[in-house]
Amino acid sequence: MLHEDESSSTDALLQRIRNQDADALADLFAQYRARLKQMIRLRMDRRLQGRVDPSDVLQEAWLDVAGRAADYAARPEMPFFLWVRMITGQRLLEIHRRHLQTQMRDAGLEVSLYGGALPQANSLSLAAQLLGKLTSASEAAMRSELQIHLQRVLNAMEPIDREVLALRHFEELNNNEIATVLGLSKATTSNRYVRALKRLKDELSRIPGFFD
C-alpha distance from residue 208 to each of 112, 118, 127, 140, 150 (Å): 31, 34, 16, 16, 12
Structural domain spans, the chain: 8-104, 123-205
143 DSSP β-pair partners: none
> pTM to 2 decimals?
0.79
* H/E run at residue 179: helix 175-182
The per-residue pLDDT string of the chain (212 residues; one tens digit each, 9 = 90 and over) reads 444 444 666 778 778 877 878 788 898 899 999 999 999 998 888 888 888 999 999 999 999 999 998 888 888 888 899 999 999 999 999 998 888 875 554 444 444 434 445 677 777 778 877 777 544 545 666 777 777 888 888 888 888 898 999 999 889 999 999 999 999 999 999 999 999 999 888 887 876 666 66
Please give the Cα distance from 36 to 148 (Å, whole number): 27
Contacts of 156 (CB under 8 A, 6+ apart): 203
Indicate the CATH number of 123-205 among 1.10.1040.10, 1.10.10.10, 2.30.40.10, 3.40.50.970: 1.10.10.10
CATH class of the domain comprising 8-104:
mainly alpha
Please give the Cα distance from 82 to 147 (Å, whole number): 30
Please give the Cα distance from 99 to 136 (Å, whole number): 35
